[in-house]
Structure 1
Amino acid sequence: MAEDDQINRFLAVNLLGRLGHQVEVAHNGQEAVETLKAGNFDLVLMDVRMPDMDGEEAVAAIRRGDAGEEKAKVPVVALTANALRGDRDHLLAAGMDDYLAKPLELAELDRVLAELLAKRDGIKAPLA
């Protein structure tokens, strides 16, 4: 998970833990790309607005293979407090696989993760 805000990181890590996920935290987009490059991850939660390298720049780096060619297609979920009409389409066009508005809601987080991980694994996700 890439998130520069300490409170948002704390809340997201706790929600993800409640869902049974392990989390490694990056504090900006560049750190997220480097962390992904160094490890094996099922999915990336990417804050959109961060210092140094924002989420859109980071997902562009991931998609062009900066974290490794084999990681260029890792599912990336945009996290943003800007839940305005058109934001979702803009972020999907930028290379994100899905979008979650902050503050995160447990049920919605669980749904998005289940869908993306099932899609990655070639499994049809159950309907909620």
Structure 2
Amino acid sequence: MFRDKNFLVVDDNEINRILLKTQLSQMGAQVTEARSGNEAVESIRTLCFDLIFLDLRMPGITGFDVMRAIRQDAQRFNDKETPVIAVTAHALPQQRKEILEAGFSDFLIKPILEDQLLSVIETWLCTSTVPSPRSALPCAHHMDPYLKMIIEKTGGNRGIAEMLVVKLAQELPAQLAEVEKALGVDDYRQAREITHKINGSASFCGLLGIREAASELETALGASSSHETLRACMQAMGREIRAFLSNRTNLEAALSNP
């Protein structure tokens, strides 16, 4: 569909980059990745893109910072007229207004569904496409809901789906421990940043239980809720993560043996 198009995906979360790159690559596009705001700025200065997908919340230089750099010093950027799509886990009416006022062309909310992604691309590239035929996804009857969502998010690519399960199983326990440690010393800012990463990964992969629990904890941290509320939210997120981890072996077996 987009074989002559070059897209830039900017996100500090590797799982998010893998999934969005997979979706775009399956549409035929060439995809460049940037792991930080600094890498994004350098890529935009030196390369030309048809569309940029920019995560808003990144450590150091945020998506908003990257957008300001582009708008304030447009002559130094090859892609000063390139549509920039904000990628975010939250977009309340006021946040949507701030995103558009900052200069973003549009926004996508995690989890990114294929039809929404396609609609945004068609809108800003002024194209109309006929979806390419896709291989039928594995039968979903009696399939584990986490397995079903990850397979759907990777377009039926079991190799990528298995890699994501492995990466999630590696990252989530460490991130959970980091949130616990930060809460133990009342470092709510750090706890919120790590919880946001968990939320983002879960959103992109369609792990709704983890996503909802992480979102509740992130909101509670932002509202400076009581220790009791934070502890309850933390425990709920921990239960969801442990439920996923306890099923890791079954998920990997199902993905490696279709």
TM-score, L = length of structure 2: 0.44
Q: Which moved more, 1:42-51 or 1:60-69?
A: 60-69
Question: Are 1:33 and 2:41 matched, yes or no?
Answer: yes
Distance 2:121 2:72 in 1: 23
Distance 2:115 2:95 in 1: 21
Distance 2:107 2:46 in 1: 25
Q: Are the counterparts in 2 of residues 4 and 50 from structure 1 also a CA contact under 8 Å?
A: yes
Alignment-derived partner of residue 14 in structure 2: 6
Alignment-derived partner of residue 123 in structure 2: 115
Gaps of 5+ in 2: 1-8, 129-258
Q: Are the counterparts in 2 of residues 29 and 55 from structure 1 also a CA contact under 8 Å?
A: yes
Distance 1:107 1:116, change over 3 A: same
Q: Which structure has more helix as a fraction of its residues?
A: 2
* Aligned with 2:86 (options 70, 78, 85): 78
Q: Alpha-carbon deviations, 1:37-63, whole Å to 9, x = none?
A: 111111110000001200001011011
Percent identity over the alignment? 37
Report the CA distance between 1:70 and its aligned residue.
Answer: 4.5
Alignment-derived partner of residue 52 in structure 1: 60
Gaps of 5+ in 1: 119-124
| Letter in structure 1 aligned against 2:43 | T
| Letter in structure 1 aligned against 2:120 | V
Q: Are the counterparts in 2 of residues 36 and 67 from structure 1 also a CA contact under 8 Å?
A: no
Distance 1:13 1:67, change over 3 A: farther
Distance 1:113 1:9 in 2: 17
User: For the pair shown, which has the larger CA radius of gyration, 1 or 2?
Assistant: 2
Higher relative contact order (CA 8 A, sep 6+): 1
